Amino acid sequence: MPETFNPDMPRRGKKSKYEKHMYYRKPDRGPEANWITVKGVTGGKRERLEDYRNFTPLKEFGELIDGHTNPWEVIFLQEGGPEAFPADQVLTLRWYNPEDLPTECDWGDEDDPPCPYMMRLKENGVHFPQLAGRKVVELLCPECDRAPFGVIDGVGGIGPLARHLSIMHDWDADRMKKYGERVDIDFDLAYSSERQSKTWEFGDTPTTHADFSCECGWTPNPDKPASPSKQLNGHRVGAHKEVATA
């Protein structure tokens, strides 16, 4: 098994058969702000992503050829690659767990591993330095094998687990409480991060309105269809010979 990653190592297949792709960083907005993704390069795709969707190409990690390797292999194994991912992407996709790394390849078998570098990552994991100091507790459903519910730095996880048990497995509050006491999960914390109520109190302070009266004492006629601002403008032009304003 290779000991040193070489991003220029030859890949199987005919390169002319496949479209080139590269890594992009998504825009700084939305639920996946700054996440890294893989998109096409050829046929003007990169220009469209940059110009119309504000994606940033990560040219430092080079281009990829479809069908030759796992698309994440290059960036995972290059210097500076793992730390380029935002922490929330790693946490959301659970890449901190080697078993959840996207290491699949489309060809090969146990005797002839398709992506030897990725197979090594599947065993040893990827080091993401941006997770230093973070803590993740994964809550498993006692009824099914669905993905765990993550409690990240003490936040989240419990509420989604409670809703899952209630909706998918018909658990009531009493059963949930007993289970929580047995495995040390406080389901009351499910509501600790809920948004609090906000109270508005209204006094009798009058609303402030714009004053469209003229210094000469003239006031707009409320029965006219023109707006007060247009009436004031017309009055100043007609009565005071002022230059009309837009």
Joined together, the tokens standing for residue 50 give 């940059």
Q: Are residues 79 and 183 in the same domain?
A: no
Q: State the pairing for strand pair 36-40/20-25.
A: antiparallel
Residue 217 lies in a domain: yes
Average pLDDT in the 118-128 region? Answer: 81
Q: Are residues 125 and 143 in the same domain?
A: no
Measuring CA to CA, which residue among 104, 37, 42 is closest to residue 69? 104
Joined together, the tokens standing for residue 117 give 């570098």
Residue 148 in 3-state DSSP?
coil
Q: Are residues 162 and 87 in the same domain?
A: no
Q: What is the pLDDT of residue 15?
A: 44
Q: Is the dihedral of CA 126, 77, 113, 109 positive or negative?
A: positive
Contact 197, 209 (CB under 8 A): no
Average pLDDT in the 230-246 region? Answer: 76
Proportion of the chain above pLDDT 70, given as a percent: 70
Residue 202 lies in a domain: no
Its pTM stands at: 0.62
Q: Return d(Cα 104, Cα 29) in angstroms, integer.
A: 29
Q: Return d(Cα 152, Cα 33) in angstroms, integer.
A: 18
What residue type is 48 in one-letter code? R
Write out pLDDT tens, residues 169-193: 999 888 998 998 898 888 877 655 5
Residue 49 in 3-state DSSP?
helix
| Domains contained in the chain, number | 3
Q: Are residues 43 and 106 in the same domain?
A: yes
Q: What is the pLDDT of residue 84?
A: 95
Q: Which of 83, 99, 130 corresponds to the end of one domain? A: 130
Q: Are residues 121 and 144 in the same domain?
A: no
Q: Return d(Cα 57, Cα 42) in angstroms, integer.
A: 13
Measuring CA to CA, which residue among 196, 73, 94, 109 is closest to residue 152? 94
Residue 227 lies in a domain: yes
Q: Are residues 124 and 147 in the same domain?
A: no
Residue 24 lies in a domain: yes
Q: Are residues 120 and 24 in the same domain?
A: yes
Residues 6+ apart with CB under 8 A from 86: 33, 34, 35, 36, 130
Q: Are residues 154 and 68 in the same domain?
A: no
Residue 115 lies in a domain: yes
- Span of 84-98, 169-183, 226-240 with lowest mean pLDDT: 226-240
Write out pLDDT tens, residues 9-57: 444 434 445 567 889 999 998 889 999 998 877 666 666 666 657 888 8
Q: What is the pLDDT of residue 236?
A: 85
Q: What is the DSSP letter of 12?
A: S
Q: Which of 130, 148, 163 corresponds to the end of one domain? A: 130
Q: Which of 145, 160, 191 corresponds to the end of one domain? A: 191
Residue 199 lies in a domain: no
Q: Are residues 113 and 25 in the same domain?
A: yes
Q: What is the DSSP letter of 155?
A: B
Other C-beta atoms lying within 10 Å of the C-beta of residue 83? 13
Residue 115 or residue 100, greater confidence:
100
Q: Are residues 24 and 113 in the same domain?
A: yes
Q: Are residues 106 and 34 in the same domain?
A: yes
Q: Are residues 111 and 31 in the same domain?
A: yes
Residue 199 clears pLDDT 70, i.e. is over it: no
Average pLDDT in the 61-67 region? Answer: 73
Residue 178 lies in a domain: yes
Residue 204 lies in a domain: no
The whole domain housing 156 covers 136-191
